[in-house]
Amino acid sequence: MASELTFYSKAKQFMLDGTLDLDANTIKLMLVTSVYTFDVAHEVLADVKASPDPEVLAVASPDNGYTAGGETLVSAAVTHTDAPSQAKFDAEDVTWTSLTATFRYGILYAEGTLNGVVDPLIACILFDTTPADVTISGINYVVQWSANGIFTLA
């Protein structure tokens, strides 16, 4: 199953104007269903969560393994290399324990009000480029980032 990461247009501006500090801000990955229609012009999480809210539901009982708002990326870091000259954003793989859910996308966003922007969006991940929904039933679901990082800028 191939996946694809696409930046939201404003994310580029947010990274360059200091709104986003990828290794200092709380970066989260939220799962959303196929109800969401990706739009590169979306700027903030509220754009994604517009009615109807496509986020995977967090069910209290029985627990479906999902927490509203998604999972925080642990050990998020930006590194640089000279050969080749590039900056890499990476973090530990994200795991949902005993997840039961159907979803299509992952939304990377920075949590909080940053430079006056509430929950700025970074990128959207289409988990199955067929495209098709991903259905998980009571297993640990891991989003395993590439050995090259979540993304690189060269």
Per-residue pLDDT of the chain (154 residues; tens, 9 = 90+): 789 999 999 999 999 999 999 999 999 999 999 999 999 999 999 999 997 889 988 765 567 899 899 999 999 999 999 988 999 999 999 999 999 999 999 999 999 999 999 999 999 999 999 999 999 999 999 999 999 899 998 8
Of the candidates 42, 29, 33, 30, the residue with the CA atom closest to the CA atom of residue 132: 33
Domain that holds residue 55: 4-146
Beta carbons within 10 angstroms of residue 71's beta carbon: 17
In a domain, 74, yes or no: yes
Which pLDDT belongs to residue 62? 60
In a domain, 152, yes or no: no
Kindly state whether residue 153 falls inside one of the protein's structural domains: no
Structural domain tally of the chain? 1
| Residue 105 in domain | yes
Query: Which of 83, 81, 12, 9 shows the shortest CA–CA distance to 41?
Result: 9
Dihedral angle computed from the Cα positions of residues 80, 143, 36 and 153, in that order, rounded to the nearest 10 degrees: 10
